Amino acid sequence: MRVLLDGLKAIAEPTRLRLLALLARAELTVTEITQVLKQSQPRVSRHLKLMVDAGLLKRFPEGTWVFYRLAEDGDAAALGKAVTALMERDDPVLAEDAARLDAIREARVTAAASYFAENASRWDEIRKLYLPEEAIEQAMAEMVGEARIGTLIDLGTGTGRMLEVLGPRADRAIGIDASHEMLSIARANLERSGLANTQVRYGNILRLDPGALGLVPKADTVVLHHVLHFFEHPVEVVMQAARLLNENGRMLIADFAPHALERLRAEHAHRRLGFADREVQAWADAVGLTVGAVRELPPAEAGDDRLTVKIWLLEKPKGAVRRAGEAA
């Protein structure tokens, strides 16, 4: 009863109801929330603190940013979900908030697309500023193993480098990217490599259609190589990737360990500052996979501007009943 009363008190205010509806749609920072609600940062922060204390929201610091999302576990979380389900989506106030949120998201996507277009020709060069790329490629190849791969899918393929590395082991390899500039470079690289079994396609990896991509049968291996830190909700990408896997499929993720290089957000359109093992484990749980292996690759040189790379291999558990891509 105490949890219920505290939760109801925390919700029973117009701005906090709007916050509940807003954070049911997306994980957001305080700055983004203030842009939607058109309220001051101190006022929004007070509302957020009250709702976090009541167990309705979760707070996740990441560098100098703090993300907020609806709580997923506990009695207060159940209350929050029940209340949001009762809200009228055509309410004019909530509809206006949703429209502002969509505009903010669209601006973010446009900024990222502009970055990719401007930097397509030197993408590999940019990545080498932060990590030993050859070592990562070797480690990924080792984790995949020497056995023949049927169909390989590289999501966010960029310049097609992972297709060059793993493509020779596959019967068929497909790279997907939403940047035409990147795909032009990838095609040129693959033609130069003479890999006739590889191809690249334009596509939004958040809206993948296995049938439209000709993935029959589905993929044996899906690769996400330094892709997830560009997304607001990486789990959505992982879920899409899992939908592409066949019953024995596996997913190979390479990305940064948690770090504090804030400038990567402004200079290189990074949305997230790396990922901890527990977050990757949560993604695996959400799509019915297990974390089969983890490799950590520290930087070759010490320094505050250097990054550690981690590689996770997600696999179908033996005897799994649930299909990949279905939420837990």
pLDDT of 2-14, one tens digit each?
A: 888 888 888 989 9
CA atoms within 13 A on the CB side of 82: 11
Res. 322 pLDDT band, cuts 50 70 90: very low
Query: Does the pLDDT value for residue 43 go beyond 90?
Result: yes
Query: Does the pLDDT value for residue 267 go beyond 70?
Result: yes
For the chain, the average pLDDT equals 86
% of the chain at pLDDT higher than 70: 90
2-87: CATH, from 1.10.10.10, 3.40.50.300, 3.40.50.720, 3.30.1490.20: 1.10.10.10
Query: Does the pLDDT value for residue 324 go beyond 50?
Result: no
Query: Does the pLDDT value for residue 172 go beyond 70?
Result: yes
Q: Among 138-152, 201-215, 266-280, which is the least confidently predicted range?
A: 201-215
Res. 127 pLDDT band, cuts 50 70 90: low
The pLDDT value recorded for residue 10 is: 87
pLDDT higher for 267 or 50? 50
Q: Which among 109, 28, 38 is positioned nearest to 69, based on CA atoms?
A: 28
Q: Is the dihedral of CA 72, 73, 77, 81 positive or negative?
A: positive
Q: What is the CATH number of domain 122-315?
A: 3.40.50.150
CA distance 55 to 71: 7
Average pLDDT over residues 198-208: 87
Res. 327 pLDDT band, cuts 50 70 90: very low
CA atoms within 13 A on the CB side of 17: 14
Residue 197 CB coordination number (10 Å): 14
> Are 48 and 30 spatial neighbours (Cβ–Cβ below 8 Å)?
yes
**Do 2-87 and 122-315 share a fold?**
no
- Which sequence spans correspond to the domains of the chain? 2-87, 122-315
Q: Among 65-69, 122-126, 157-161, 324-328, which is the least confidently predicted range?
A: 324-328
Query: Does the pLDDT value for residue 105 go beyond 80?
Result: no
Average pLDDT over residues 58-77: 82
